[in-house]
Structure 1
Amino acid sequence: MKNSSAISRCAGLAFGVLALGMVGVAHSAAGADGAGRSLGAPGGPGADASLIMQRLRELRPDLPIEEVRPAPMPGMFGVELAGGQILYVTADARYLFAGDLYELGDTDLINLAEQQRIAKRLELMATVAMDEQLVFSPQGVTRASISVFTDVDCGYCRKLHLEVPQMNAMGIEVRYLAYPRAGIGSESYDKIVTAWCSDDRNEALTRLKRGEELAAVTCDNPVARHYQLGRSVGVTGTPAIVLPDGQLLPGYLSADELARTLGIEPS
């Protein structure tokens, strides 16, 4: 997948959420008293969060809600969904909007939603042991590292892998995590399990990305865990690159582009 904008990637979800907002307003109006006042539950932030969770469960039971907590904007709560998308709901559970919340800083706009996603992403990525990843390290000094969710049958994943030697030469370490796009139990899943279960895992991954056929092998492996982790941190396609600061870059970037992103002068 070539690097693409966050707007296009979220378009489908945003449409569904707008529908939820319209249904929610109508439903809430029916639950207000004659003066139009909200009949929201009394109490502090905990009561508001419970009310919001209850209302969303009633209206959209399929929403993958992970957490509801006060937002930086007074009177609003952030509803975090699986994958990192955040919805914002008023404390009385009457109004909802989809989209990132920004603070007007002294010199620039600050994306508060992305800050929250980054913090969660860093926390989740820190749970992955180094020996669970396929690591391509520089021969000399390591100046930076990237984590890459990859699939062996993805064209842009293969293109990115061809750039790994150049990245290593610039001091960039590449840490691969498995993300078979077709899902657990698919042919791509079986192939990437073979890479993780081979005696020389890095060589097996490289050969599979060349399109070579390898005899299938299996073992106790982290592929399913990596796949679920990818979904939790916001991966929707491959390759997906996570930078040391927690930023998620969807799609392919050249070695030179990645180096510049990491503050390294390309060579």
Structure 2
Amino acid sequence: MRLKLLIASLSALCATAVLAEPADDIRASLSKLNLPVAIKTISESPISGVYQVQLDSGRILYASGDGQFLIQGALYDLSAAQPRNLTSAAEAAGIGEVVNALPQDQLVIFAPDKPKTHVTVFTDVDCGYCRLLHSEVGELNDLGIEVRYAAFPRSGPGQPSAKIMESIWCAEDRQEAMTEAKLGNKIETLTCDNPVNKQFALGQQVGVQGTPAIFMANGVLLPGYKPAAELAEQALANQ
């Protein structure tokens, strides 16, 4: 028994040593790219000689063991009857951790008394489909879905929509300010220490390319507007 444990321990140490060298080479090579997001982990991928690089944002890259080649894209497993997107699954798990870690006191939240699950929506006040989605927040709440809003002014920081969103986050009643802005009504211009720019940058890092960008509790991204009943069904299936 002790011999088996010793062999297992030695095998684990050897595997760690084997991985350490390519991981160091990959980190050294990627440091030259000045990536805006730090590397979280480097691990073996299903392809021999190719390593999975997970960034702090949850996004996935792939690199050769010597760090000389970098691959950005989806890795599919074709061994089963249906192709499986391994990259998407790994990214969803990582992104879910990042998005769910957003401090709730820095979000605008519309919640039922007893939520069954939640969605995090990167939103813009000037987006037509965002306004349509907001008109159905009450229905989503009735279906047990908590809606958490993060800011994503599509025109970028410092632009008029970003200024409106800053005023929302600085308002005493963020829910009311959000609803008024989504209706196209003018709200009081306010300034304070707010997370709008930080949330916009995070949205870019986790792959938001348009609004509304709806993240399920498990990190799966549902881009664009979906009717309340369909969105609630998706949310409950991806807790």
TM range (shorter): 0.7 to 0.9
**Alignment pair present for 1:110 and 2:91:** no
Matching residue of 2:18:
44
What are the within-5 Å matches in structure 2 for residues 15-26 of structure 1? none
Q: Secondary structure at the match of 1:44?
A: helix
For 1:263 and 1:119, the matched residues in 2 are separated by 16
Contact kept in structure 2, 1:103 and 1:109, CA below 8 Å: yes
Contact kept in structure 2, 1:102 and 1:110, CA below 8 Å: yes
What are the within-5 Å matches in structure 2 for residues 48-87 of structure 1? 48-55=22-29, 61=33, 64=36, 66-67=38-39, 69-73=42-46, 74-80=48-54, 85-87=59-61
For 2:217 and 2:120, the matched residues in 1 are separated by 8
**Alignment pair present for 1:153 and 2:126:** yes
Contact kept in structure 1, 2:117 and 2:236, CA below 8 Å: no
**C-alpha distance after superposition, 1:6-42 (max 9, x if no partner):** xxxxxxxxxxxxxxxxxxxxxxxxxxxxxxxxxxxxx
Structure 2 residues not aligned, in runs of 5+:
1-16
For 1:263 and 1:244, the matched residues in 2 are separated by 9
Matching residue of 1:172:
145
What TM-score results when the alignment is normalised by the length of structure 1? 0.71
Aligned AA for 1:260? E
Matching residue of 1:236:
209
Matched residue pairs, number?
219
For 2:194 and 2:209, the matched residues in 1 are separated by 22
**C-alpha distance after superposition, 1:56-113 (max 9, x if no partner):** 566xx36556326233222111244686553323224455543211234656433221
**Alignment pair present for 1:208 and 2:181:** yes
Which of the residues 159, 162, 165 maps onto 1:189? 162
CA RMSD of aligned residues (A): 2.6
What TM-score results when the alignment is normalised by the length of structure 2? 0.79
In structure 2, relative to structure 1, the CA distance for the partners of 1:245 and 1:92 (3 Å cut) is same
Matching residue of 2:200:
227
Structure 1 residues not aligned, in runs of 5+:
1-42
Matching residue of 1:137:
111
